Amino acid sequence: MPVNPLLSKTLKMLPKPARRVLNNANDRVFRARHLVLAGQTPFEVLHDNGLVKLRHYLPLTDDSIMVDGNAMPVNKSKHRVPLVIVPPLAVNMLIYDLFPERSLVKYFLARGFEVYLIDWGQPNRGHTHYNLHTYVAEFMPDFLNKVREHSGQKELSLHGWSMGGIFTLSYTALTHDPDIRNLIIIGTPINSHASGGIGKIYQFIERRAEWVRKNTGFRIHNINPQWLHTPGWMNVLSFKMLSPVGSFMGYWELIIKLADREFVINHATTAAFLDSMVAYPGGIVQDMMVRIWIDNELAKGYMKLSEEEVRLSDIHSSVFACAGKSDNMVTKAAVETLMDHVSSTDKEFTVVAGGHMGILSGSKAPNDVWKKVADWLETRSS
């Protein structure tokens, strides 16, 4: 776009700090995508069903990588058991590769793991009938088989954050897959009614829902899932409304730090994830509303998937679960319940720094979360 000569002349007359602020503001508003640092780790797509894709992240060629300002050596020897990242829905995949120096996938590559990621894609209204059974019983077996074919390994480790943990646990319990060696469960709502203020809201809704069931024929699963399809912009708004003050302060901080180029770039990169969430299929919304939020089934050790039933007691894999100390969406009590239900003899639960997003990709995640997970996983991946 040609620059207005008068505007250009005016800018040159301004002091250098003022020019820096105006240039940063212009780039943040009109050229934000050119500032984004996320999604730079190379990968290949091994399988694509038209919606869902399987990524395989390529081995690192450098001898070391930078992790938040510190050099970290790259382990050239590979652990035998591959790591498969199972994301939640609604988020885009940038969260796993957010900054060149703060990238979960790059970190685990450097620690010597073969890293795969199931990219759920961007569902539209044509996919609105997809439910938990679709993802757990149809998609996951197909994509995990592709991982096994490509890696040549039967045993796998699965990494599930938030709803991705529900997919991971449900698949393992439902299929009785004996070759899921390790499960990493990060910020996953097992007992959603124990999640602080949100949990109390769920309890309130549960009591009303019980009355509706006893006194009417209304059932959420009888609603046409088209009506419950949740577009990406609504998920963005819902996520930000969980912390409206924090969202406002983030933009206020941007305004007062417009002279700081690094801050502006980091803000644009984080916003590329937060402002680009994707849709929830209506069938998923139905299942989450009934199974997780209202009936709180996993807290009792089971969950219905269409006509099938998942039982957490059928899980015997090694389990590492953690909750964020400042996570208001999924609290410690909501995650720790998992330990009461799985049959695993090798299981560990811990609390780490960060909120719901921070436990996966925040500034403290490399040392407080990723390192703990990788240390635990290394001894179980030979």
With a CB cutoff of 8 Å and minimum separation 6, the contacts of 322 are: 185, 186, 187, 335, 349, 350, 351, 352, 359, 369, 372, 373
**Domains along the sequence of the chain with CATH:** 32-378 (3.40.50.1820)
CA-to-CA distance for 354 and 366, rounded, in angstroms? 11
pLDDT along the chain (382 residues), means of 10: 55 66 66 69 97 97 90 94 96 89 96 98 94 97 98 98 97 97 98 92 92 90 91 73 56 64 63 75 95 96 94 98 94 97 98 92 92 97 93
pLDDT of the residue at 1: 45
Spell out a b/e string for 331-352, using b for 16 or more CB atoms within 10 Å of the CB, else e. Answer: bbbbbbbbeebbebeebebbbb
Q: What DSSP character marks residue 293?
A: I
3-class DSSP assignment, residue 182: strand
pLDDT at 14: 65
Look at the chain and count its residues: 382
Q: On the CB side of 148, how many CA atoms lie within 13 Å of its CA?
A: 14
Cβ–Cβ under 8 Å, residues 101 and 110: no
List CB contacts of 289: < 8 A, sequence separation 6 or more: 220
